[in-house]
Amino acid sequence: MSVFRICSRLGRAGWSMAGTRNMSAAANYNYNSLSVTQPSDFVLNLELNRPTKMNALNTEMWEEIGHFFEAAGEDGDCRVVVLSGSGKMFTSGIDLSDLSQLASVVFSDDDIARKTIMMYNKIRHLQNLFTKLETCPKPIIGAIHSACIGGGVDLITATDIRVCTQDAWFQVKEVDMGLAADVGTLQRLPKVLGSQSLVSELCLTARKMDADEAHRVGLVSSVFKDKDAMMSGALELAKTIASKSPVAVQGTKRSLVYSREHTTEEGLDHVAKYNMVMLQSEDLMKSAMSQMDKSSPPPEFAKL
């Protein structure tokens, strides 16, 4: 049976299976260090919200980021997340008061084996909270204005798409603090930029990289004149993605993330196993019908 005949059997009723849209989905997320709004259907804007502290990443914010992306990954009313920052800058990096708390452990008189295990578990926990951006099946658009320093680079390298303002700048600051970046930058930035030489330069010198260079080397895909223009562009991009089949979009993200860490053959097998089920989805029928009949309204897809 042809795709056209299958789609015809769905009839116009097929367009109404998307389910009721919920414009108050953001009300399900209440945080102290983050602000969550829903600017359009199926799009959530997660804003780092410690403007008086330059959105410094303290323990509370770190935990809330991890909680949000785990919850958003299971939220049928969310299909895309825009990650932005309030106030004067995206983030100044790790909160130095939290860093000083770790230093008090390092210089304590406790047994070295026990201190070492505690430090390892702490680092792995923080790493896992940022990894939740990758394991979240919803695409994440990082929208960066002004400064993105230290832990902020760890954070944005776990996003799927990055855009920034003309005045944005990026800095892998950790070597100036006497430590190696340990929450994802050294692992993800080489895959984002594709140049080990440039990554090594940035990480070993802690120099600033401005928006033009970030765009040229592929850290960001678009640069906007100011924050308002950037947020407008990021939200429009999010709306476009959210209008697509969530089966297709989430499967695409899963396969892209998987393939980055595996061989080409493993990636091909992964997407084949995904599509052996998902090609039977009603979303394919709706999309095909829309492509063949340009006079039809845009397809609406059920929540996933």
- List, by residue number, the catalytic residues: 94, 151, 154, 174, 182
- Residue that is written with structure tokens 């799009």 in the block: 43
255 neighbors 271 (Cβ within 8 angstroms): yes
Answer whether 224's CB lies under 8 Å from 164's CB. yes
Query: What CA–CA distance (Å, rounded) separates 82 from 235?
Result: 7
Q: How far apart are CA 139 and CA 72, in angstroms?
A: 11
- DSSP E strands in the chain: the ranges are 34-40, 43-48, 80-85, 140-144, 147-149, 161-165, 169-171, 209-210, 222-224
Total residues belonging to the chain: 304
Bridge partners, residue 171, by sequence: 149
Tokens of 3: 């795709």
**Measured distance CA(296)–CA(291) in Å, rounded:** 9
**Sheet with 147-149, edge to edge strand ranges:** 147-149, 169-171, 209-210
